[in-house]
Each structure stands twice: as C-alpha cells, then as structure tokens.
Amino acid sequence: MEIQGENNVTVKAEVNRKTLKKQVAKMDEYEDWIAALSGKIKSISTDGVVELEGAGLQVFEKKKKEPKPDSESTAA
C-alpha cells in the first residue's frame, strides 16, 4: 500500500491481505470514514518516502457532530 499526503510525503506499508479486505469492506459500508495506519518506521528516504514495517490499518466511521444546544435558550 502506498499513500501520498498533501505535503508530498509518501508512506509505504505492507498490510495483511485479509486485514485490508476487512477494512475496505468497512469503507464501503460507512457513509463517511477515516483510517489510521500504524507501524514501526523502517526507513525514511531523502525523497520523503516513509516505509513502515508491521503495519496495521483500522477504519472508523466518521459520525457527524450534533449541534450543541444554545445555552441562552435553555436558561430560565
């Protein structure tokens, strides 16, 4: 897996095929999602490529925040 960020930093990682399949299924299931990629840094190249070893991937549902009630309207 290779991911490139907005600041042109590229992260390369090998993720277990079974884990990746489960996480991609979650991405399809959720309306809005966010993912976390973790692992031990194996190397960082001069080109800004970060290589991870023992990488893990988790996908979470990104829920919309409920608007807070207006404190003035609830005060009696």
% of the chain exceeding 70 in pLDDT: 92
Torsion over CA of 26, 27, 30 and 32, rounded to 10 degrees? 150
Paired residues of 51 in beta bridges = 12, 43
pTM score, two decimals? 0.68
Alpha helices in 1-76 (DSSP H): 17-29, 71-74
Where are the chain's structural domains? 2-62
Mean pLDDT of the chain: 88
- pLDDT for 7 equals 83
